[in-house]
């Protein structure tokens, strides 16, 4: 299973968007993982993968405490959640 975050049109949005203006972001979730934690594309950080929402929430909250912005949790059904695990769809 892969999560694909489609490329945004160049010149649109902000640097805090998870979509890149240069390419699609592809996250290989394998068979075991259900949640990915992604940061804004300008950080150029790899997503972390998690089996449980609670672990994804802990990871996203840690990133937020460290000062990262645009932290989002995405599940394998492409639903998005904030750093507290609440749906933002």
Residue ranges covered by each domain of the chain: 2-81
Maximum distance among all alpha carbons in the chain? 36
**pLDDT exceeds cutoff 90 at 82:** no
| Mean pLDDT, rounded, for 38-52 | 94
pLDDT in tens, 22-42: 999 999 999 999 999 999 998
Contacts of 82 (CB under 8 A, 6+ apart): 60, 72, 73, 88
**pLDDT exceeds cutoff 80 at 57:** yes
Output the CA angle 56-31-68, nearest 5 degrees.
Answer: 25
CA distance 89 to 82: 10
Q: What is the DSSP code (8-state) at residue 20? A: -
Question: What is residue 89's predicted lDDT score, i.e. its pLDDT?
Answer: 61
The model's pTM is 0.89
**pLDDT exceeds cutoff 90 at 76:** yes
């Amino acid at each position: 299973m892969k999560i694909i975050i489609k490329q945004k049109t160049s010149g649109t949005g902000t640097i805090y968007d998870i979509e890149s203006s240069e390419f699609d972001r592809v996250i290989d979730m394998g068979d075991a993982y259900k949640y990915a934690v992604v940061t804004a594309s300008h950080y150029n950080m790899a997503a972390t993968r998690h089996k449980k929402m609670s672990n994804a929430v802990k990871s996203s909250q840690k990133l937020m405490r460290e000062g990262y912005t645009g932290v989002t949790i995405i599940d394998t059904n492409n639903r998005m959640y904030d750093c507290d695990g609440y749906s933002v769809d």
